[in-house]
Amino acid sequence: MSAWLMAAFLNGLDSAETTALTEAMLHSGDVLDLAGAPGTPVDKHSTGGVGDKVSLLLAPIVAACGVPVPMISGRGLGHTGGTLDKLESIPGLRTDLSVETYKRQLVTLGIVMIGQTDEIAPADRTLYALRDVTATVESIPLIAGSIMSKKLAEGIDALVLDVKCGRGAFMKTEPDARRLAETLAEIGAEAGTPTVALLTRMDAPLGRAAGNWPEVAESVRGLQDASDGAGSIADVMDVTLALAGEMLALGGAASDAGTGREQAAEAVRSGEAFGKLLEMVEAQGGDPSVLDAPEARTEQAAARVVEASAEAQGYAADLDALGVGRAALALGAGRRRMSDDVDPLAGVVVHRKPGEPVQPSTPLATLYATEGSPRADFDEAERRLLGAFSFAEEKPDVPPLLMDRYAGGAWGRG
């Protein structure tokens, strides 16, 4: 297998070979049958980044609009977070539900978020471990096959992809991110699962929070915000609503993605999306009351405020997502090895993002970790955080996060 992986890594795989690999990994385990689900189940996959809490908002929004969302998510590794770690920072919430419970909850609530089970694409797990030790992870066909075998095993009818591009992303360059998006969508099409990919920027963290509970708290504020997040987390909401629009169109609840986006925004404004999140949290054993006032849990953590130096003047010009991700890792929010535990309260909340004004002593960020946590190194986190910022006298242009859309074999905003 190692020799085969190296051959595939060096020579690449063509489209038929990539599809054959994906099919073989998909059928190495169970392919879930969601026939009893009310409607057309649709999921989203993100290739991951820093502060990417989109699933926490998106799944309840889409479910509140009548499209069932069965989501099987992963854990964080290195500087990127994982949805499961974030969800489990809600006291009591369980993500290790059985397949039977997963199906039942999808029927009753239209939303369920769990972790990978041993039955789903077991060949991918074995191959991924082998890729890790043979330095063959960074191959677009192998990555695409790995992602799609797991997603197609969920039993979904359609899929939306958030392919991230930039310093904080798996794909650092635009050509690579485009090629990954095309490969993923083509596998979906070959498998008869309509797949739309959005290409989104991941140079700065998404939103202001990176970490576990800090990201849950930010997501809750986004869903509670009757102005549909146009305030403090406008960037998160922009990506979330764009993905929601696509999911509602694919799920048959909207005539097109633009209409779907409006329906999704209305589900936030009406409070229905927040209500759906609370229902899911309760069904999965979590304590929904902590979500009513997320600050109370945030205040249980030890905190350090990082201020701008005496020379800082003008605007935050740049904020490197990778640096912020490493600051969160130093606080214990992430894993250096897959076997590490994560600190549910650990993370970073930045108070200045590119384009926002800065003066000497402006609070740039607050660092959080569980009081007395042996994993937390506040000094290293502060160094990483300060290294992630740069300043300028002129206000910088901040490019939009949504870069492009790939659907039906073509690029274009549609």
User: Looking at 25-33, 138-146, 152-160, 300-308, which segment touches ligand URA (CB under 6 A)?
Assistant: 138-146
Q: Which is nearer to ligand URA, 179 or 351 (CB)?
A: 179
Cα–Cα dist 41/39, whole Å = 6
Instruction: Select from 62-70, 139-147, 225-233, 287-295 the region that touches ligand URA (CB under 6 A).
Output: 139-147
Q: Is 124 a catalytic residue?
A: yes
Query: Which residue of the set 43, 52, 85, 124 is catalytic?
Result: 124
Of 290-309, binders to ligand URA (CB under 6 A) are none
Q: Is residue 146 annotated as a catalytic residue, yes or no?
A: yes
Q: Which lies closer to ligand URA via its Cβ, residue 146 or residue 240?
A: 146
Could you give phi then psi for residue 319, rounded to 5 degrees? Answer: -140, 110
| End-to-end alpha carbon distance in the chain | 42
Residue 143 found at the interface with ligand URA (CB under 6 A): yes
Partners of residue 399 on adjacent β-strands: none
Is the separation of the CB atoms in 226 and 269 below 8 Å?
yes
Cβ 114 to ligand URA shortest distance, Å: 16
**Phi and psi at residue 20, in whole multiples of 5°?**
-65, -40
- Selected catalytic residue, list 53, 86, 150, 384: 150
Q: Mark residues 100-129: x for contact with ligand URA by CB under 6 A, - for none.
A: ----------------------------x-
Neighbours of 7 (CB within 10 A): 12
Cβ proximity to ligand URA, 130 vs 398, nearer residue:
130
Report the distance separating Cα 363 and Cα 286, nearest Å.
Answer: 33
Q: Which of residues 6-35 bind ligand URA (CB under 6 A)?
A: none
Residue nearest to ligand URA (CB): 146
Which range, of 56-64, 142-150, 174-182, 201-209, touches ligand URA by CB under 6 A?
142-150
| Minimal distance, residue 135 CB to ligand URA, in Å | 13
Name the residue nearer to ligand URA (CB basis): 128 or 411: 128
Report which secondary-structure segment, H or E, holds 363: strand 363-369
Structure-token match 């640096």, residue found: 323
Instruction: Output the CA angle 122-127-131, nearest 5 degrees.
Output: 150
Q: Residue 352: phi, psi to the nearest 5?
A: -130, 135
Q: From the candidates 46, 139, 146, 149, give the one annotated as an active-site residue.
A: 146
Quote the least distance from Cβ 5 to ligand URA, whole Å. Answer: 11
Rounded (10°) angle between helices 15-26 and 122-134? 120
Specify whether the CB–CB gap between 357 and 320 falls below 8 A.
no
Annotation says 45 is catalytic: yes
Size of the site for ligand URA (CB under 6 A): 5
Q: Which of 75, 79, 103, 131 is catalytic?
A: 131
Residues 162-191 that bind ligand URA (CB under 6 A): none
Beta bridge partners of residue 367, listed in sequence order: 304, 348
Determine which one of 28, 43, 44, 45 is catalytic: 45
Nearest-angstrom CA–CA distance, 395 and 318: 11
SS3 382: helix
CB atoms within 10 A of CB 13: 21
DSSP helix/strand/coil, 325: helix
Please say which residue, 253 or 322, places its beta carbon nearer to ligand URA: 322
Query: Is 104 part of the annotated catalytic residue set?
Result: no
Catalytic, 326? Answer: no
Exposed, middle or buried: residue 101 (CB in 10 Å: 0-12, 13-18, 19+)? middle
Give the residue with the Cβ less far from ligand URA, 21 or 358: 21
Site residues for ligand URA, window 146-165 (CB under 6 A)? 146-147
Q: Write out the catalytic residue numbers.
A: 45, 124, 131, 146, 150
Residues of the shown chain interacting with ligand URA in the complex, contacts defined by CB under 6 A: 128, 142-143, 146-147
